[in-house]
């Protein structure tokens, strides 16, 4: 009689993406929390001298003794963006196309906005112009990245709620972004132009919320089941 040897089926694991790294998530969350703490400290310190309604956050760089915290807060945004990129790469959602470009531009824009401060007054130096456009790149690229990620989740049923939350945050962020841009460049009525500082601060918080959603996504993502090979 021929001896039958039972062997365990081979499992093809090369098709499954690697498990999300907690290092990337922790890096992203650390950047978000530190940025928020720096900005809150600046807001409280400059409460008497700078109005949160009509003064942009970039002017925090001129707060005596703690002005450096503004650059640190913006650099922390780049750290959060880097954490989001690493986490999305771990679950194979980053790719090599528009999403990578959008997040890469957001990270680079945050670094430039931190390194090149703005000016006081109407006249703009080269540093102030770099700061303005770099900050604009960050404000636009983070919502774009969130939309690109949400589109990749359209066939993932267990993340349908997460996808809807991403779209909801994008819509809200886009509305506030439009309000800030139109008030900042004098398109809106004068009464609303006086609220450009408030619009920017709300926009800053919403951008952090979007980054947090991108950073935390790897923790919600499930790797596809391994395929048994006969």
H or E segment and range at residue 221: none
Per-residue model confidence (pLDDT) at position 15: 44
DSSP-derived secondary structure for 182-216: HHHTT-S-HHHHTTHHHHHHHHHHHHHHHHHHHHH
Residue 62 belongs to a domain: yes
Residue 4 belongs to a domain: no
Mean pLDDT across the stretch 145-174? 93
* Lowest pLDDT segment from 9-23, 84-98, 171-185: 9-23
Residue 228 belongs to a domain: no
Residue 230 belongs to a domain: no
Residue 2 belongs to a domain: no
Whether this model's pTM surpasses 0.75: yes
Mean pLDDT across the stretch 77-93? 94
Mean pLDDT for the chain?
A: 85
- pLDDT, tens digit, for every residue of 12-57? 444 444 454 789 999 999 999 999 999 999 999 998 888 888 888 9
Residue 76 belongs to a domain: yes
Domain extent for 139? 18-223
Residue 182 belongs to a domain: yes
Residue 7 belongs to a domain: no
Q: How many domains does the chain have?
A: 1
- pLDDT, tens digit, for every residue of 124-151? 788 989 999 999 999 999 999 999 999 9
DSSP-derived secondary structure for 29-68: HHHHHHHHHHHHHHHHHTTTTS-TTTS-GGGGGGSTTTTH
């Amino acid at each position: 009689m021929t001896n039958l040897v039972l062997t365990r089926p081979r499992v093809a694991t090369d098709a499954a993406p690697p498990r999300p790294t907690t290092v990337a998530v922790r890096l992203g969350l650390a950047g978000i929390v530190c940025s928020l703490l720096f900005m809150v400290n600046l807001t409280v310190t400059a409460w008497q001298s700078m109005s949160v309604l009509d003064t942009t956050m970039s002017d925090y760089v001129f707060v005596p003794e703690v002005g450096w915290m503004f650059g640190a807060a913006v650099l922390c945004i780049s750290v959060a963006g880097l954490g989001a990129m690493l986490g999305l790469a771990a679950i194979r959602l980053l790719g090599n196309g528009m999403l990578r470009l959008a997040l890469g531009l957001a990270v680079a824009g945050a670094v430039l906005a931190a390194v090149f401060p703005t000016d006081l007054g109407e006249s703009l130096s080269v540093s102030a112009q770099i700061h303005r456009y770099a900050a604009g790149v960050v404000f636009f690229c983070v919502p774009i990245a969130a939309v690109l990620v949400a589109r990749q989740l359209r066939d993932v049923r267990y993340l349908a709620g997460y996808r809807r939350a991403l779209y909801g945050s994008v819509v809200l962020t886009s509305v506030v972004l439009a309000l800030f841009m139109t008030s900042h460049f004098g398109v809106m009525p004068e009464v609303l132009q006086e609220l450009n500082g408030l619009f920017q601060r709300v926009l800053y918080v919403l951008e952090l919320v979007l980054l947090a959603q991108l950073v935390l996504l790897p923790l919600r993502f499930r790797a596809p089941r391994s395929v048994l090979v006969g």
